[in-house]
A and B are shown apart, each in its own frame.
Chain A
């Protein structure tokens, strides 16, 4: 214990004998430098995270050009819940999140298991260095890359399918494929990097378990199945639950770069809807109401995720 804390403990212990004002003065003397250092960061949090909560009251108001705004209660929420477009974007959000859980989530686990089998350190490093790269590219760049590889005239994908005699598809503007474009671009971006978390968990597995399995004559698959996978189940559970917590997000930064007028019916999500009606067509209050709907249910999801995870694995979201 540092003397700082010892001192604090002493202060706490003798607190009963010291007048309150004296205690306060001692506390200030000891801790003020720390509060000074905390202040700028704390100010950022208050301004950028708490003031917007106040601004969100707009969802209950009629915005007027000349303030003050008019309080209208739940009117905008009623409009929202009566709007078919809202249910459409909600459905899209849920479908896209479900597709990602089903088809994106397992990929990094498999990648980690494969990487773990590679015995040559150099080869493994090489593979890792290559497959982590897309994680560090912006969604604008990734959309640009996908526009190129999915191009119906000379994109790599249509070149390959063309080789097998299939007709070219304009994936970017084909409503049927747009959700899958989201799934595959997400895999492309995150499959490599996310495998790192599982790899870290695998490395933490007690080596003697593998030795014991080998003594029992286990082969590669039996060791994976009986030692490695049970060893990373807590990590899988934590990340799965964390994903569930983000279920209503479906990633604005991604979707907004793949969205166009043709595939709007398939991949317009809550966030892009809020952006469009709020900042493009100026229905501020309705957009704020939709945003609040997402914020409140998102909060319930994340909190549930946190406590379920804590319960099951001892690890929370934070």
Chain B
């Protein structure tokens, strides 16, 4: 970021107080955003027998135990959820990036015949969405209900991401393309050997957009998938934490006989589930900060 703005030198005590208030407000905001997550981390690592009644303000584990984590990570529903989420996210991101990049490249050529019509077709989809029921029946008609592909292929190319990439491709200097063409490169070679290497940061940004989107997606998986063994992690989490269906993790047998997972405090299990679900996001968060911030900033600046 450029040099700080409003760089008046602090002159008066009043201004110092003002500045202190500003900084305090922002730090308070940091606490509000992070404390709840830290609390859940703390609960998940606490001794499960000491979790009941543990204050939501605590950010330090009461005792220390890996019981919750061991149980959850060995739990078949959680393991399946993780694998399903990884498979869906990876496949959908790959398809999304490839489809978006190829289409954006075509659309970014100003003289392409039919460019305006195709653009219009895309814009209409932003403006008019017939809703979830027609989507569902289309899925049914195509025989994709209860298949991973329903979630993976559903709106695989995002109109907004497409527009971002088109804008990026439009700014590639024409001289470069011209030079490549003089060297005898055909349209495909130009795309793969000249355009794509230049577009690496933009493609990384789009890939991260898709990645975060698909990892966090739950609604389509919830309505298109019936078979619980195909549920991605978000849907397992939703069942257990949001819908309060404790059997989703505890299991009917365990609950009935009060054995195994059933003996672990539910609050600790829920906290652990939430943290497991956001772990991948936390892992790539530095990348997200780098690319999302830049992508959004440049988009906003160009307008």
Contact = CB atoms under 8 A, between A and B. Distances in A.
Binding between chains A and B: yes
Interface of A: 1-5, 8-9, 27, 31, 33-35, 37-38, 40-42, 44-56, 58, 111, 114-121, 123-134, 136-141, 143-145, 147-149, 151, 153-160, 188, 191-192, 196-197, 199-205, 210, 214, 219-220, 223-224, 228, 235, 252-253, 256-257, 271, 274-275, 278-279, 284, 287-288, 291-292, 294-295, 298-299, 302-303, 315, 317-318
A42 B103 contact: yes
Contacts of A315: 303
Interface residues of B, number: 113
B121 interface: yes
21 contacts: A38-B107, A41-B102, A42-B118, A53-B130, A58-B134, A116-B6, A120-B4, A137-B278, A141-B234, A141-B278, A144-B270, A149-B56, A151-B56, A153-B53, A156-B35, A157-B56, A214-B8, A220-B6, A257-B238, A275-B223, A279-B133
Given A33-B186, A131-B33, A121 B1 contact: yes
A202 to B, nearest CB: 7
A155 B274 contact: no
Most chain A C-beta atoms within 10 Å of own C-beta, residue among B29, B37, B288: B29
Nearest to A315: B303
B132 A119 contact: no
Contacts of A214: 8
Given A137-B281, A141-B234, A147-B241, 5 more contacts: A48-B135, A48-B153, A126-B30, A128-B293, A144-B241
B8 A284 contact: no
A37 B132 contact: no
B285 A196 contact: no
Task: Tell me the interface secondary structure of chain A in the complex.
Answer: helix
Interface in B91-105: 98-100, 102-105
A16 B39 CA distance: 74
Nearest to A147: B241
B29 A127 contact: yes
A291 B6 CA distance: 49
A127 to B, nearest CB: 5
A1 B154 CA distance: 38
B137 A284 contact: yes
B70 interface: no
B157 A41 contact: yes
Contacts of A303: 127
B170 interface: no
Nearest to B131: A291
A141 B237 contact: yes
B57 interface: yes
Most chain A C-beta atoms within 10 Å of own C-beta, residue among B35, B40, B137, B277: B137
